[in-house]
Amino acid sequence: MSFYNDVRAPGGAFSHPGEECGIFGAVGHEEASFLNYYGLHALQHRGQESCGICSSYGGRFHHRRGMGLVKEVFTQEHLEELPGVAAIGHVRYSTSGESHLVNAQPLIFRYRGGELAIATNGTLTNAPELRAELESEGSIFQTTSDTEVLAHLVARSREASLEEDVFQALNRLDGAFAFLILTNERLIAARDPHGFRPFSMGRLGDARVFASETCAFDAVGATFDREVAPGEMLVLDDEGNQESLQFAEPRRRGVCTMEYVYFARPDSDLDGINLHSARKRLGRRLAREALVEADVVTGVPDSSISAAIGYAEESRLPYEMGLIKNRYTGRTFIQPSQGLREQGVKMKLSAVRGVVAGKRVVMVDDSIVRGTTSLRIVRLLREAGAREVHVRISSPPFQNPCYFGIDTPSRDELIASRLTVDEIREKIGADSLHFLSREGMVEAIGRPECGHPDRGHCLGCFTNEYPAPTYEEER
């Protein structure tokens, strides 16, 4: 198998490219790469480090990948050079300080069965074991990417067709994944048997589109059709033929709770639940659990606005724009070092003096990870004259790392794994601090019962109980 992505990584050490990303695909549309462009643009919040699109035309692939935002990497001319009625695309989150073009997807491979381009969102928990096994059998890896593990498995499979090779390869994978795989004739979409990461299919006339989030369907004028089912592999061609295969039995549902709490865009729906409405319910529930006498409620833009509105409605306090975000800076996690992150937060947010001066302020945020953001914001509000600052978090304490596709710091960097709630309160300088209860969160999100007290969510970052093995102890 040859790996012919145009860049080689310096030094050979990378982060997991599969983590924290957005994927989009289209098949059966004359302007498939343009659809990808608009779809990826709508998914930009899921990753700003790099992006790429690969189309298939004339029996070969056409692709472009680059560092930066979708609008920076692609021009009209670039997209015109990506012809064909099928294309897949990817936006990648920065999971470490290093930024390498080699991590940009879709990754493209050639093997005896043909060419394949792969775009993925998620993390394979058994990737190290699979890699060791494949290497011991002679495979040579060019990256440390999980995606390449899938490519090698496909290349080693000895089935009659590429689709069957992919089917067998998917069976070997553990963890969280949503894959889009493009071949010269087909588009394949697959989702892990737990359904950790969001992944849906939409329709645009006769064309089919796939996206990490439904907001990308709205962006291209497509309508939501259905979610890709856990353990399902869909094979589509550009004539509208579609085959649904079950490469593995669905296992205990593990929809990522952080998607509801923080990641997904408020205008997306996940498992039939609108994210803005779910977050408002989180805020309402938080107000019921941790009401406080105050004058105004404000949310940390942008991800906590919905929860703050919910808190305000329930507590009958006015919701105010106490904090303003400079929309031209990225998310804080892009900053590599703690020092830069602190600076980043400062660049990013300002408090509105006229709103908070002399007031008792409830500041709602969706989560505390390292504690940097809360510390900075409490300080900002006080500097702007707030008399009291009450911090309310619309999720439980984030105490454990994620092994299923969300980039998180190590356990000892998670402030809630080291400190009690009161110690955190003191550290961030708040007058009071409350986290939403686990039950409150699960009920407020409102997914139907799935035969488990967690309603089919993955709550691992809050509870240290994961719906699938993490393999951490064995290692």
List residues binding ligand AMP (CB under 6 A).
262, 300, 303, 331-333, 365-374, 406-408
Q: How far apart are CA 148 and CA 180, in angstroms?
A: 13
H helix runs in 3-84, sequence order: 32-42, 70-73, 76-80
Question: For residues 118 and 345, which CB has a smaller minimum distance to ligand AMP in the complex?
Answer: 345
Of the candidates 49, 67, 165, the residue with the CA atom closest to the CA atom of residue 118: 165
Question: For residues 139 and 367, which CB has a smaller minimum distance to ligand AMP in the complex?
Answer: 367
CB of 393 to ligand AMP, least distance (A): 9
Task: List the structure tokens of 279.
Answer: 């977050």
Question: For residues 231 and 371, which CB has a smaller minimum distance to ligand AMP in the complex?
Answer: 371
CB of 391 to ligand AMP, least distance (A): 11
Question: For residues 27 and 261, which CB has a smaller minimum distance to ligand AMP in the complex?
Answer: 261
Active-site position among 21, 215, 402, 461:
21
Task: List the structure tokens of 98.
Answer: 């290093």
CB of 366 to ligand AMP, least distance (A): 5
CB of 406 to ligand AMP, least distance (A): 5
CB of 473 to ligand AMP, least distance (A): 23
CB of 466 to ligand AMP, least distance (A): 16
Question: For residues 139 and 394, which CB has a smaller minimum distance to ligand AMP in the complex?
Answer: 394
Of the candidates 387, 407, 401, 399, the residue with the CA atom closest to the CA atom of residue 334: 407
Cβ atoms within 10 A of the Cβ of 68, count?
Answer: 13
Question: For residues 202 and 299, which CB has a smaller minimum distance to ligand AMP in the complex?
Answer: 299
- Non-local CB neighbours of 113 within 8 Å, separated by 6+ positions: 154, 155, 161, 162, 165
Task: Give the gyration radius of the chain's Cα atoms.
Answer: 22
Question: For residues 123 and 372, which CB has a smaller minimum distance to ligand AMP in the complex?
Answer: 372
| Residue 21 known to be catalytic | yes
Q: Are 365 and 322 in contact (CB under 8 A)?
A: no
- Non-local CB neighbours of 56 within 8 Å, separated by 6+ positions: 62, 84, 86, 87, 117, 182, 183, 184, 185
Q: How far apart are CA 299 and CA 323, in angstroms?
A: 7
372-383 and 338-348 helices cross at what angle (nearest 10)? 40
CB of 193 to ligand AMP, least distance (A): 24
3-state helix, strand, coil in the chain (%, to 5): 30, 25, 40
Q: Are 106 and 182 in contact (CB under 8 A)?
A: yes
- Non-local CB neighbours of 237 within 8 Å, separated by 6+ positions: 27, 185, 186, 187
Task: List the structure tokens of 23.
Answer: 């994927």
Which residue carries 């509801």 as its tokens? 260
Active-site residues: which are they? Answer: 21
